[in-house]
Amino acid sequence: MPDYLQYPIHILLWAVALITGPLAVIREVKELYWPTKGKKRKKRLFTIFILCAFVVSAGALWGIEHKKVVDLERQLSNNIPKLSATFNQIAASPAGKNNESSILTVVMLITNTGAQSIVKDFEIVVTRKEKQIKGVPISPPQKIILWKNRNKKEGILLNRTDYLPDKCMTQPIVTNGGAGGFIQNFIPGVSVKEIFSDAVIVLNFRDAFDKKYSASYDFKMHQNDSINVIWNPSLLQGRGR
């Protein structure tokens, strides 16, 4: 049977069942205690009961189908990853002959409230003065220290195992779980000073179903935040490739 005929037939069958069942009993009780006088009034009453039967049938059928749709959406929602990212630290060090470029290290946490999923296709985009510069992924060293000040008295130690593009491909993020780590990109033509002054850092990534996610950080809007970190240029020496 064609799909477009199923619902009209179901409504018709439900209406017939109501007319010959509950509504028939109600009509008989009504006529027994409050009889309707005149053929026209009886005909009108019968028509009203028929309309009520069709309206109730259509409403009941819609309710059943709506519940099926809601249940299906809930099941699908439980099978789809729901990722989000939070910036924890952003560090930059000079690069290039005249320090006109920079190496950007972003420390962040990616959480998942949906189905288990890997995270892939990480991409950093730096936007400054309406110009977008895509970062170039680089292989980080085995260990990195992000110094919070220039005297190197307080810093954050990062290990190669915390490199998110590798970590999130081999270790899927489970439901209500998270993965912390860092991403490192070479940013051509944008100096450290320019990044920390008015740049917008955008991180893009995808889940196992290729759905794209984005998280951004605007240095203009967060000039006094503790998220800004100084990465001493001396740490670039002896980098592992």
| Of residues 54 and 188, more confidently modeled | 188
Q: Domain residues for 21? A: 3-78
Tell me, rounded to whole angstroms, the distance of Cα 186 from its chain centroid.
28
- Asked which of 71-85, 158-172, 220-234 is least confident by mean pLDDT, the reply is 220-234
The domain total for the chain is 2
Q: What is the three-class DSSP state of 111? A: strand
Residue 226 has pLDDT above 50, yes or no: no
Arithmetic mean of pLDDT, 86-102: 88
Three-state secondary structure of 126-184: EEECCEEEECEECCCCCEEEEECCCCCCCEEEEEHHHEHHHHHHHCCECCCEEEEEEEE
Query: Do 44 and 93 fall within a single domain?
Result: no
Is 6 in a helix, a strand, or coil?
A: helix
Question: Which residues neighbour 212 within 8 Å (Cβ) at sequence distance 6 or greater?
Answer: 204, 205, 206
Q: What is the CA 153 to chain-centroid distance, rounded?
A: 39
Same domain, 162 and 214: yes
Between CA 120 and CA 98 the distance in angstroms is 33
Would you call 63 exposed, middle or buried from its count of C-beta atoms within 10 A (0-12, 13-18, 19+)?
exposed
Q: Which of 15, 44, 78 is the last residue of a domain?
A: 78
Q: Decide which of 227 and 8 is more confident.
A: 8
pLDDT digit string (tens) for 107-164? 999 999 988 999 999 999 999 888 999 999 988 888 888 776 666 667 788 889 999 9
pLDDT value for 240: 33
Residues 6+ apart with CB under 8 A from 160: 140, 141, 142, 143, 240
Tell me which residue of 91, 100, 124, 89 sits closest to 201, measured CA to CA. 124
- Contact of 135 with 185, CB cutoff 8 Å: yes
> Do 227 and 117 fall into the same domain?
yes
Pick from 75-79, 175-179, 180-184: least confident? 75-79
93 token code pair: 């060090």
Same domain, 112 and 214: yes
Q: Are residues 71 and 92 in the same domain?
A: no
What mean pLDDT comes out for the span 84-93?
Answer: 89
pTM value is: 0.63
Q: Tell me, what's the pLDDT at 164?
A: 94
- What's the mean per-residue pLDDT of the chain? 79
Of 78, 107, 128, which closes a domain?
78
Residues 63-73: tens digit of each pLDDT: 888 887 877 76
Mean pLDDT value across residues 223-237: 46
| Residue 241 covered by a domain | no
- Residue 235: the pLDDT is 44
Q: How many residues does the chain have?
A: 241
* 197 and 132, same domain (yes or no): yes
Left if phi > 0, otherwise alpha if psi is -120 to 50, otherwise beta: which for 176? left
Share in percent of the chain as helix, strand, coil (round to 5): 40, 35, 30
Residue 53 burial by Cβ neighbours in a 10 Å radius (0-12, 13-18, 19+): buried
Going by C-alpha positions, the residue among 183, 203, 190 that lies closest to residue 102 is 190
Residue 233: closest CA among 189, 188, 193: 193
Residue type, position 117, single letter: S
Is the confidence at residue 45, as pLDDT, over 70? Answer: no
